[in-house]
């Protein structure tokens, strides 16, 4: 048991230890963390019960809970809390641990030194790579939480960095490429055992051969969502809740350009905003965003971007727009996002697969199909979208009459207004230069908007679908699908014959939680990919693919542009089906 001087806290912690004896998997969560704070954070004249009631009062933010607890902490009680965090015999859930660390004012792991969780210990510094001890033969997985915010990584996406020996020791474990450790970076890692189970997560603050921490906290400004609330407040959210805003413990300063008021927010252990975060402001306000990791930019003098609260108007639409996806609506049905008029070139040079980038919508099947068409038949896309010279565009789709088998043209006209994120870029499909309304190439977002308008709304096209149906809607004809469980020759012949005939090809992975574990593969479950081509090297056959995000791919495949190749055998293992046109 950790050394605890406060008698009431000691009694409480003893009860936790007793519970753990009957439930070996017990972890202390937020509720237990609040009980601990009620014992050590009781204010003069308040009982622990009253303190707990105040801490749990409806509407209390985590920052308010922290402030309340800190007011009642004595020096000895701070030592008791530190003892629980550093030497506790009952493990804490990540969120509960981060909460208690915040009360103590500890922003995260310190460089160097030993750090342990259940099943994994990291020792010393990381000058020669991560070293420590775990179970014999375990695989070490890690992600650099300081380098990953501006990518599409979840905080539990990992890369294999090493393997423990027969005694469970490991050393020299390093992240590479875009994840390479720099001084002061926060590395999240775990051990994966032979039976597929894992150790708890552990965060390590990198102490490398560099003499100075030069990487400030990166900020995914494009994930910051602002909506006008009540009583002069602005609601702040992470519109990609499963991904980071910045590294854990980073401080983000919002400055209201209209009022000059500044507000500093500390991100939680997952690198995202505290629950129910609010700023002072009104619809239409613009906020400057600055960040600090506690070492760099501590004065918040360097701005990383601007975000704007939607003003609630449609920006003078020429034509009505398809409705937002249901996930981008407030509880009362009003839009969370405003619109912006984009006037960039319809086609900048030539149509290419790399022009296609999926946005904030679950329609991977659509950009995967469009990029596949762009790769094999760009003229078809060029011919189906026309600028009308008055700020509108007409896109012509194909619709099959299933009674007669005939296909007819369906023209759909839309304008250049696109739903925009708070930072200014398009919410949904986009191309390069998406932050510059007069420069972004328009053909793909316009085609996606027209498709949503034809099908009924962005919600109608944003809940999954089939790339083969997109091939039919764009090019006519009928699509076909082959399961990758077929023979290798059958799958290979389907791909190569379609590519050679300049027909688009796409592939879909298995469902998450299905027959394939996608951890450490660089490929995502329940996701569609374009097949751009094929290669042969001796007797080995490869499939060339593209992630419609325009990034995120298996390691060792070159630039992070979403394009990569897999051996046919690996492709058949990771993917479920191949779609093309008859």
**CA 172, CA 410: separation in Å to the nearest integer?**
60
Confidence band for 56, pLDDT divided at 50, 70 and 90: confident
pLDDT over 70 (residue 106)? no
Q: Mean pLDDT, to the nearest integer, of 142-148?
A: 94
Neighbours of 57 (CB within 10 A): 11
Higher pLDDT, 513 or 322: 322
Same domain, residue pair 13 and 99: yes
Q: Mean pLDDT, to the nearest integer, of 456-484?
A: 96
Question: Does 571 map to a domain?
Answer: yes
Q: Are strands 186-192 and 169-173 parallel, antiparallel or unpaired?
A: unpaired
* Residue among 27, 205, 16 nearest 106 (CA): 205
- Total number of domains constituting the chain: 5
Q: Mean pLDDT, to the nearest integer, of 481-509?
A: 97
pLDDT on residue 25 = 79
pLDDT on residue 119 = 84
Q: Which of 230-239, 313-322, 342-351, 506-515 has the lowest mean pLDDT?
A: 313-322
Residue 414: domain span: 326-475
> Over the stretch 508-565, which tens digit does the pLDDT of each residue have?
999 988 899 898 899 999 999 999 999 999 999 999 999 999 999 987 787 889 999 9
Residues constituting the chain: 582
Q: Answer for the pair 435, 347: CB distance below 8 angstroms, yes or no.
A: no
Give the mean pLDDT of the chain: 90
> Over the stretch 297-311, which tens digit does the pLDDT of each residue have?
999 999 999 999 987
pLDDT on residue 314 = 46
Q: Mean pLDDT, to the nearest integer, of 159-186?
A: 92
Residue with tokens 């609260």: 309
* Residue among 217, 230, 229 nearest 272 (CA): 217
The vertex-293 CA angle with 287 and 299, nearest 5°, equals 60
> Over the stretch 352-383, which tens digit does the pLDDT of each residue have?
999 999 999 999 999 999 999 999 999 999 99
Same domain, residue pair 466 and 483: no
Question: Does 575 map to a domain?
Answer: yes
Mean pLDDT comparison of 47-51, 124-128, 182-186, highest-scoring range: 182-186
Same domain, residue pair 483 and 548: yes
pLDDT over 70 (residue 316)? no
Same domain, residue pair 462 and 360: yes
Q: Mean pLDDT, to the nearest integer, of 132-148?
A: 95
* Residue at a domain's end among 83, 104, 125: 104
pLDDT on residue 110 = 53
Same domain, residue pair 63 and 124: no
pLDDT over 70 (residue 113)? no
Same domain, residue pair 195 and 262: no
Question: Does 549 map to a domain?
Answer: yes
Question: Does 281 map to a domain?
Answer: yes
CB contact set of 30 (below 8 Å; sequence gap of 6+): 93, 95, 96, 99
* Residue among 373, 314, 372 nearest 341 (CA): 314
For residue 434, give both structure tokens: 């998406």
Higher pLDDT, 471 or 81: 471
Question: Does 212 map to a domain?
Answer: no
* Residue at a domain's end among 431, 458, 475: 475
pLDDT on residue 5 = 84
Domain of 133: which CATH number? 2.60.40.10
Q: Answer for the pair 557, 565: CB distance below 8 angstroms, yes or no.
A: yes
Same domain, residue pair 335 and 299: no
* Residue at a domain's end among 205, 234, 251: 205
> Over the stretch 238-247, which tens digit does the pLDDT of each residue have?
999 889 999 9
**CA 135, CA 499: separation in Å to the nearest integer?**
47
Question: Does 213 map to a domain?
Answer: no
């Amino acid at each position: 048991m950790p050394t605890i001087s406060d008698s009431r806290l000691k009694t409480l912690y003893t009860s936790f230890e007793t519970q753990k004896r009957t439930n070996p998997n017990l972890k202390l969560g937020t509720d237990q963390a609040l009980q601990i704070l009620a014992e050590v954070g009781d204010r003069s004249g308040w009982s622990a019960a009253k303190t707990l009631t105040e801490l749990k009062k409806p509407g209390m933010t985590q920052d308010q809970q922290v402030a309340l607890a800190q007011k009642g902490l004595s020096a000895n009680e701070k030592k008791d809390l530190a003892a629980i965090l550093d030497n506790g015999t009952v493990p804490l859930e990540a969120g509960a641990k981060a909460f208690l660390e915040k009360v103590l004012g500890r922003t995260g792991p310190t460089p160097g030194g030993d750090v342990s969780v259940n099943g994994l210990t990291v020792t010393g510094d990381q000058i020669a790579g991560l070293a420590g001890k775990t179970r014999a033969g375990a695989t070490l997985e890690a992600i650099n939480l300081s380098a990953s915010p501006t990518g599409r990584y979840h905080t539990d996406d990992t890369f294999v960095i090493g393997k423990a020996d027969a005694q469970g020791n490991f050393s020299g474990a390093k992240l590479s490429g875009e994840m390479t450790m720099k001084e002061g970076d926060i590395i999240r890692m775990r051990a994966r055992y032979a039976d597929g189970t894992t150790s708890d997560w552990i965060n390590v603050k990198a102490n490398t051969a560099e003499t100075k921490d030069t990487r400030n906290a990166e900020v995914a400004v494009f994930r910051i969502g602002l909506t006008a609330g009540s009583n002069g407040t602005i609601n702040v959210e992470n519109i990609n809740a499963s991904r980071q805003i910045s590294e854990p413990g980073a401080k983000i300063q919002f400055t209201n350009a209209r009022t000059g008021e500044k507000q500093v927010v500390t991100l939680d252990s997952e690198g995202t905003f505290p629950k129910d975060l609010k700023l002072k402001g009104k619809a239409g306000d613009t906020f400057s965003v600055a960040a600090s990791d506690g070492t760099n930019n501590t004065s918040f003098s360097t701005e990383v971007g601007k975000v704007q609260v939607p003003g609630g108007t449609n920006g003078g639409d020429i034509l009505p727009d398809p409705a937002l996806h249901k996930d981008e609506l407030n509880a009362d049905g009003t839009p969370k996002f405003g619109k912006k008029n984009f006037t960039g070139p319809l086609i900048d040079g030539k149509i290419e697969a790399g022009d296609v980038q999926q946005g904030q919508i679950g329609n991977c099947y659509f950009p995967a199909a469009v990029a596949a068409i762009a790769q094999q038949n760009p003229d078809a896309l060029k011919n189906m979208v026309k600028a009308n010279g008055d700020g509108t565009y007409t896109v012509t789709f194909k619709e099959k009459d299933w009674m007669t088998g005939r296909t007819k043209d369906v023209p759909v006209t839309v304008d250049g207004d696109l739903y925009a994120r708070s930072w200014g870029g398009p919410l949904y499909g986009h191309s390069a230069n998406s932050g510059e309304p007069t420069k972004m190439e328009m053909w793909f977002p316009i085609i996606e908007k027209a498709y949503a308008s034809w099908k009924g709304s962005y919600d109608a096209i944003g809940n999954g679908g089939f790339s083969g149906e997109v091939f039919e809607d764009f090019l006519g004809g009928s699509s076909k699908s082959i399961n990758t469980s077929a023979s290798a020759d059958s799958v290979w012949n389907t791909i190569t014959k379609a590519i050679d005939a300049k027909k688009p090809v796409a592939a879909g992975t298995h469902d998450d939680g299905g027959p394939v574990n996608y951890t450490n593969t660089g490929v995502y479950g329940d996701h569609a990919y374009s097949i751009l081509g094929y290669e042969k090297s001796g007797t080995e056959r490869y499939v060339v693919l593209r992630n419609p995000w325009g990034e995120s791919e298996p390691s060792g495949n070159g630039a992070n542009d979403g394009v990569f190749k897999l051996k046919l055998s690996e492709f058949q293992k990771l993917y479920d089906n191949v779609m093309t046109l008859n």
